[in-house]
Structure 1
Amino acid sequence: MENGTLRGWMEPVEPFLGPLHDVAKAFTGLTGVPVDLPAALFLRARLTGLPLPGRVSAGGSCHLLETADGWAAVNLARPDDLAAVPALVALLGGTGTEEPHEAARRAAAADVAAHAQLLGIAAAAHGSARGTRAPVRAERGGAASPRGPAGLRIVDFSALWAGPLCARLLGAAGARVVKVESTTRPDGARRGSPAFYRWLHDGHESLVLDFASGAPAEVVAEADIVIEASRPRALRRLGIHAEEFLAARPGRVWLSITGYGRDEDRIAFGDDAAVAGGLTGLDRAGDPVFLGDALADPVTGVFAAHAVARSLADGGGELLSLSLAACAAALADSR
């Protein structure tokens, strides 16, 4: 990455990166694989020519709205989100001619986020996830002998950025990664930068399956590690149960990445999750602005890779639950 481009993205974020540097070094200590944090955090922005963020995220979909008592992030990442904006304004007591930022000023940040989430829009009150949970939660099952990722089979059901980055790092440590996609719902990252997608999935096998056929459960049965970013009930409908996977063979690892934890139904993307965690900068007026590009995504990917490597070194047999918002909060809380 060019020095000028790197400097512009790194300078606002660097004060928060102490914990992430520690996690990356620990991953290297366990696997021998160095983590290129600038590439992990900012390669997508460089490849796509994204502008530095402000009140609007680098990708352009997430907006910081001033509220009656603070700030909230509302992420209009999908066509359905944009279509739901009039309903959001109405829920906030606005008129048909008002913009969301106008209606939000009369409401509490928590209410703005709650109304948006009710409509299926990823949203969060600023700092609402700070102090609510650890970045990594582990439920231990049957452990085996300590080992590293080399030679293990990873089945990766995740999409977009956090899970695939974790898989990339573990693949660099010698794991065999099989990326699994649905015939009806391919990875949304395919619609973005082809070069970035290739970088994330370099050297990985690809399987596109009919999820209604029972084939995903058969693929999981052959795995040592599963990476997923789905609500638990969605996988159970496919006959895939994390607890059964772990019980079937000692030493396996199941990694679950969600916005706010496996027990939460709220959705999240990288920018709004970063705001939930309080991982934001300040403008000259002292008001929050976005940092980086969907920053909670790559931050969580690095945390996740270390969590899996650490679990394997301890014998595995764990269900690891990572939250985008909690990983962002871990960096915000370090200042």
Structure 2
Amino acid sequence: MTKAFGGIRIVDSTHVLAGPFASYQLGVLGAEVIKVESPHSPDQARLQGSDRRMNDRGMGTSFMAQASNKKAIALDLKSEGGRKALLRLLETADVFVQNFRPGALDRLRLSYDDVRALNPRLIYCSISAFGATGPRREETGYDNVIQASSGMMAMTGYGDGQPLKSGAQLVDYGTGFAAAFAISAALFQREKTGVGQHIDVSMFDVALMLCSSHIAGLTWNGSRRRRAAGFASACP
């Protein structure tokens, strides 16, 4: 039986966790995923994991966890040859996922507008810490940074007043799920309109969404429940 995204081609130029996890979800559902990495600076997740020998081979468990069902190619996007090779791939693609700092691909003439001129049906998904617009657009951030800045860490702890990070990368995984869902919706909409679109996914926005019940209480009547000892999910 054909899987839901059979016949869909995704070019994945992401690294670490949130972006790779987004394309991994679609790959599990049948999409062809082509992972693009720099030959000079490959995905740093390749060097992370529980088996040092695998890390030394660039196949760490942190990388493998969301790398299955993917093909791979090395392209130097700062070179004209690498840039043109990526554009040739994107001409044949349905989805492009990238998590470079906002503006980085614009300077390489690989922005959404640049690519849309070649492939109007392309779904172009940008993932970043604080989104492609706004005063914090150029700031970078990882899961622990977003857990701290969103207030998640302040909601978690042992009642001693100290914030605590969740052991799992909740924001990275949440962002990956949110991006995969947004891409799915964009592909469905393309069936009706025939054209692609640009998706802007912010890790910070996803973190606030995950805290939505607490934020609703705060904005409704200023409720600020305090963290309780032994109750790690209580609100500050």
The TM-score with structure 1 as length reference comes to 0.53
* 1:177 matches 2:33: yes
The AA in structure 2 aligned to 1:327 is V
**RMSD of the TM alignment (CA)?**
2.0
* 1:203 matches 2:78: no
Q: Is the CA contact (8 Å cut-off) linking 1:163 and 1:257 kept in structure 2?
A: yes
Q: Is the CA contact (8 Å cut-off) linking 2:175 and 2:202 kept in structure 1?
A: yes
Correspondence 1:130-145 to 2 at 5 A: none
The 3-state SS of whatever aligns with 1:267 is: coil
Paired with 1:250 and 1:234, the residues of 2 have a C-alpha distance of 21
Report percent identity of matched pairs.
28
Q: How many residues align?
A: 190
Paired with 2:175 and 2:86, the residues of 1 have a C-alpha distance of 25
* 1:318 matches 2:197: yes
The AA in structure 1 aligned to 2:23 is A
Q: Is the CA contact (8 Å cut-off) linking 2:21 and 2:66 kept in structure 1?
A: yes
Q: CA deviation at 1:250?
A: 4.0
**In structure 2, what is the equivalent of residue 57 of structure 1?**
none
Unaligned runs of 5+ in 2: 50-59, 215-236
**In structure 2, what is the equivalent of residue 217 of structure 1?**
87
Paired with 2:93 and 2:33, the residues of 1 have a C-alpha distance of 10
The 3-state SS of whatever aligns with 1:325 is: helix
The farther-off stretch of 248-257 and 266-275 is 248-257
The TM-score with structure 2 as length reference comes to 0.74
**In structure 1, what is the equivalent of residue 123 of structure 2?**
253
* 1:275 matches 2:148: yes
The farther-off stretch of 287-296 and 314-323 is 287-296
C-alpha deviations, 1:204-247, integer Å up to 9, x for none?
10001222123333322322100000134321333312123234
C-alpha deviations, 1:170-210, integer Å up to 9, x for none?
01111100000011111010110223322311121000122
The 3-state SS of whatever aligns with 1:312 is: helix
**In structure 1, what is the equivalent of residue 211 of structure 2?**
332
The AA in structure 1 aligned to 2:31 is A
**In structure 2, what is the equivalent of residue 6 of structure 1?**
none
Q: Is the CA contact (8 Å cut-off) linking 1:251 and 1:312 kept in structure 2?
A: no
Of the two structures, which has the highest relative contact order with CA contacts closer than 8 Å and spacing of 6 or more? 1
